[in-house]
Structure 1
Amino acid sequence: MALIFRGTLVQCITPRSIEILEDHILRVNEDGFISDIYPYAGGESPKHFPGDPEIIQMPPFTFLFPGFCDLHLHAAQFLYMGSGLHLPLMRWLDEYAYKAEERLDKDPALARAVYCRLAQRLVENGTTSTLLFGTIGEETNLILAKAFQDAGIRGFVGKLSMDISSRPSYTEHSAAESVAAAKGFIKKCKALVAPLPAHRRLVHPVITPRFVPTCSEPLLQDLAVLASEECVRVQSHLAEARDMIDYVSKEYGVSDFEIFKRTGLLRDNAVYAHCTYLTDLQMSELSRRKVSIANCPLSNCYFSSEPFRGREAIDLGVNVALGTDVAGGYSIDMMNSMRHAVTVSKIRDGQAAEEDSSKSLVVDWIESLYLATRGGAAALGLGDLHGTFTVGAAFDAQMVQLVDPESHFGKGALDFFDTNPSKAITLEHIEKWWCMGDEKNRIGLWVQGRNVWPQVTKT
């Protein structure tokens, strides 16, 4: 069934600007693509569209905004989110991550419960697309893929590849075994959604070498070949933490950047998380190779002694997106990722100003919204129109309400003292939502035109 919305649309057209479209009609066709968009004033009544479309009239101080894209999340680690963050990265992986992932691989019922709950939490928080790290278990990752397809949200699912491990019971025992398992998962994941029309296939397999310390060079080389053969995306961690970097340098004699480069995995459909220790020269190379970076500012604060140099990466032409990095990050809310990204950039700017105040290092709140929508969509290869309200774009959107229409008080944590219904939504209203809003302000979420949370009442 087609959808028709009347109300305010808000979107990031460029990294530095927000467009507010007051009192517009937006129509979504039965396949979930935007088919019409125009100002309502003096226009055709939405009830005159043919057929029996669902009509959603947005009250004052309510707007549609594109859904968020989370570019780095460890699905199995949702099991213990908010635990062990006092540890350095390599110890944390040994004491928490590997154990949790192995546990889910051995317990399909638990995996199903964790992944279904994860999907629910994501839609509550406005996330419509997620790039996921799974486990090494082929069938467990199919449970993850099915949970996201059933929940109606986009999931790019990575079956972990790792033929080296500090936990002997949690590893693939050779490069050949690991590649065969990755190939099997890709085939089964594609088969899971093959009966559906292309626009309804919400889950996709992703080549996922965990990181250099758990992967032999032969494995990385073979995974690069597999990514080309199967035309699938690649994801991993890169230049993340001091203890990881020291380990790679000691074991391999070069950086993980050089290893990924010489094995063919720095490619135009790849997303690398963290990248806090990359030089300008290395980031320029990522830009040339069209590699995207997933900035995870909260987990960087815990596991990296360096902040991500976001302003420099963006100015060097790297496509930067944002991730929560659950469970290295303790919040599944992309709004917190945006806030932390801005905060870190402001601290960096203040420190840099003591030496040279000629160049700002700030990533501001508007730019963070762009990174969380259009930046993420670009990294996932969803198309130039994704993350916008444009004819032809897939309708992945959240409905945000700032003021309760009955009490006229600000909703959730928001307080307003000048909310005359005849007044328009302003940039200041949106900034306040960005700073203080939460799931209480989100009253609807759609992916490919389908309402996935909660069910919105027809009018």
Structure 2
Amino acid sequence: MNDVGTAMLIRGTFVTLPSLAALHILTDYLLGVDETGHITHFSAANSPTSKALLTSTAVPPIQIPQGSFLLPPFCDLHLHAPQFLYQGTGLHLSLMQWLDEYAFKAEERLDADPALARRVYTRLAQRLIENGTGTVLLFGTIKEGTNLILADTMQRAGVRALVGKLSMDISSRPSYVEASAEAALSAARSFVSRCKETVAALPAHSRLVAPVLTPRFVPTCSNELLEGLGRLAAEQSLRVQSHMAEAHDQVEWVRSERGAEDIDVFDQRGLLTPDTIQAHCTFLDAAALARVADRGTAIAHCPLSNAYFSAAPFALREVLAAGVRVGLGTDVAGGYSLDMMSAMRHAVTVSRMREGKRRLEHAGENEAAESVAIDWKEALYLATQGGKEALGLGRGSGSFEVGAPFDAQQIQIFDAEKGAGIGALDFFDLELGESPDVSIEMVEKWWCIGDGRNRVGLWVQGNRLELSVLVGHE
């Protein structure tokens, strides 16, 4: 491959996830990146094209040491940025109570205090980077200015972020609501325009943030508002995010107040499209899932917050079998952890418990029935490639494909020089002098018990982000 414009070369072990059920470990590969942060070369280091690139370019390769590997960064498909303010509290309540007593108050507080908003969002960006999250789909607040602070903060931090200004003309909190459907639609249009303006002067490859229309969920949006947002999404080809069929009390509220199911309300207003990401979808039956698949809508699966608020587990295996695009989300603060590794682990745990229940309920029946459990490799795919596909971010996003943005996290699991595992990881055979080449068992061990001590690098669009240790205030 022509090396014109090569800005960075990286040589080492890469873990790729070409499909839901596949995980490949590519040892001693060479990757090239151009000035725009796109991958220009990816091949075995001993291939003719790699050898030619190594000898023809003056750029020295970054050598990833033995016992380490590069992996696509995580994509968090559902996170409430202002709720980071009170992460890890209030989870004893039902969903509708929790929104009243915690969520709305916190969001209103940030809307009233721009300095606090920037402080909270700056810290959030740092925590995302620490946890290996390179791409995130964010719910914001009602006020335009606060959401522009959120967009600016993510852009400055180097995190790829889709930012949603909340649209809600109905609220149980009188001081936290938009005046009317017309006012909410005007505000949504204004935010979309101004969010785009914040990065308009940058080269296209440097624009990391974009707006997304965000009707909070059916209980906070009139039909008039939803219809208007559907028209706006179609007019400007905008992504849409919301919550659908999340919790029993929420589903019953929609039935009693609207006389319909969530999915019907969204679908009838043009908000169930290939550009839509709906969080949760816990209470959808087979027919509804078929409609989601037919519309091309993606789902953000948030297993931890589902455990607290949904009263039922998400039918992940069945949803995947229906052909629906699925990614994982932390759902902070409905979920208490920003760590996508926690989301992956909970997704597997919930699915295994569903499978155990299925086997107990159907003991002695068709044992050849497909398991509803997922394994760790599938969860890793959903947390990386799956999220990028759900967002429709373009060619190769979430992979190491030529032409794709170079997004990666570097994971160190073993220190060959010291002969010891990193962090919580122990490899007793390697300590006796065996080869520290990365194996599938080593990656699985990291997936199960690894933590932030194993993450030593993060790149987004070719830029290496600072994995700083947070001490004191910004």
TM-score class, shorter-chain normalisation, is over 0.9
Q: Give the secondary-structure state (helix, strand or coil) at the position aligned to 1:430.
A: helix
Q: d(CA) in 1 for partners of 2:416 and 2:358?
A: 45
Match of 1:337 in 2: 343
Q: 1:246 to 1:58 in 2, by over 3 A?
A: same
- Shift of residue 126 of structure 1? 0.6
1:164 and 2:170 correspond:
yes
- Aligned partner of 2:220 in structure 1 is 214
Q: Which moved more, 1:251-260 or 1:340-349?
A: 251-260
Q: Among residues 356, 381, 387, which one is paired with 2:398 in the alignment? A: 387
User: How has the CA–CA distance of structure 1 residues 301 and 65 changed in structure 2, closer, same or farther, with 3 Å as cutoff?
Assistant: same
Structure 2 match to 1:374 = 385
Return the offset for 1:451. 0.3
| Among candidates 16, 22, 27, match of residue 11 of structure 1 | 16
Conserved? CA contact 1:4–1:46, under 8 Å: no
Which residue does 1:453 correspond to in 2?
466
Write out per-residue CA displacement over residues 255-288 of structure 1, whole angstroms, 9 at most, x where no aligned residue: 1111111111111100000000001111111111
Instruction: State whether residues 136 and 161 of structure 1, in contact with CA within 8 Å, keep that contact through their aligned partners in structure 2.
Output: yes
Q: Secondary structure at the match of 1:354?
A: helix
Q: % of aligned pairs identical?
A: 55
Give 1:130-149 correspondences, 5 Å limit. 130-149=136-155
In the alignment, does 2:99 pair up with 1:88? no
* Structure 2 residues not aligned, in runs of 5+: 1-5, 469-474
- Counterpart among 427, 434, 444 of residue 457 in structure 2: 444
Corresponding residue for 1:22?
27
What is the one-letter code of the residue matched to 2:23?
A: I
> C-alpha distance in 2, partners of 1:374/1:112?
30
Q: 1:351 deviation in Å?
A: 0.4
Within 5 Å, give how 1:28-427 maps onto structure 2.
28-41=33-46, 44=51, 48-51=55-58, 53=59, 55-356=61-362, 357=367, 358-419=369-430, 420=433, 422-427=435-440
Q: In structure 2, the residue corresponding to 1:177 is in which secondary structure?
A: helix
Helix, strand or coil at the partner of 2:371: coil
Aligned-partner Cα distance in 2 for 1:158–1:129: 14
Shift of 1:453: 2.6
Contact 1:126 / 1:442 at 8 angstroms: preserved in 2?
Answer: yes
Q: What's the offset of the Cα at 1:406? A: 3.7
Aligned length: 454
The answer to whether the 8 A contact 2:414-2:436 is kept is no
| CA contact 2:79–2:330 (8 Å) conserved in 1 | yes
CA distance in 1, matches of 2:156, 2:436: 40
TM-score normalized with structure 2 length: 0.94
Unpaired runs of 5+ in structure 1?
none
Give 3-state SS (helix, strand or coil) of 1:453's partner.
coil
| Preserved CA contact (<8 Å) 1:206 1:232 | yes
**By how many angstroms is 1:308 displaced?**
0.5
Q: How far did residue 162 of structure 1 move?
A: 0.1
Does the residue aligned with 2:465 lie in a helix, a strand or coil? Answer: strand
Counterpart Cα distance in 1 of 2:399 and 2:429: 29
1:73–1:323 CA contact under 8 A, matched in 2: yes
Using the alignment, how far apart are the partners of 2:246 and 2:390 within structure 1? 19
On the 8 A contact 2:301/2:326 being kept in 1, the answer is yes
User: What is the deviation of 1:384?
Assistant: 4.0
* TM-score normalised by the chain length of structure 1: 0.97
**Is this contact kept in 1: 2:395–2:403, CA < 8 A?**
no
Asked if the contact 2:14/2:71 (under 8 Å) is kept, the reply is yes
CA-based RMSD of the aligned residues comes to 1.4
What is the CA–CA distance in structure 1 between the aligned matches of 2:60 and 2:270, rounded to whole Å?
A: 48
1-structure distance, mates of 2:56, 2:34: 11
> Structure 1's 166 and 426: CA in aligned 2 closer, same or farther, altered over 3 A?
same
- SS of the equivalent of 2:424 reads coil
Shift of 1:49: 4.1
- After superposition, give the CA deviation of every residue in 1:422-448 in whole Å (9 maximum; x if it has no partner): 342111000001001111100000000
Q: Is 1:428 matched up with 2:441?
A: yes
Quote the offset at 1:421 in angstroms: 6.4
Post-superposition offset of 1:454: 3.4
Please report how far the alpha carbon of residue 354 of structure 1 lies from its aligned counterpart in structure 2 after TM superposition.
Answer: 2.0
Shift of 1:198: 1.2
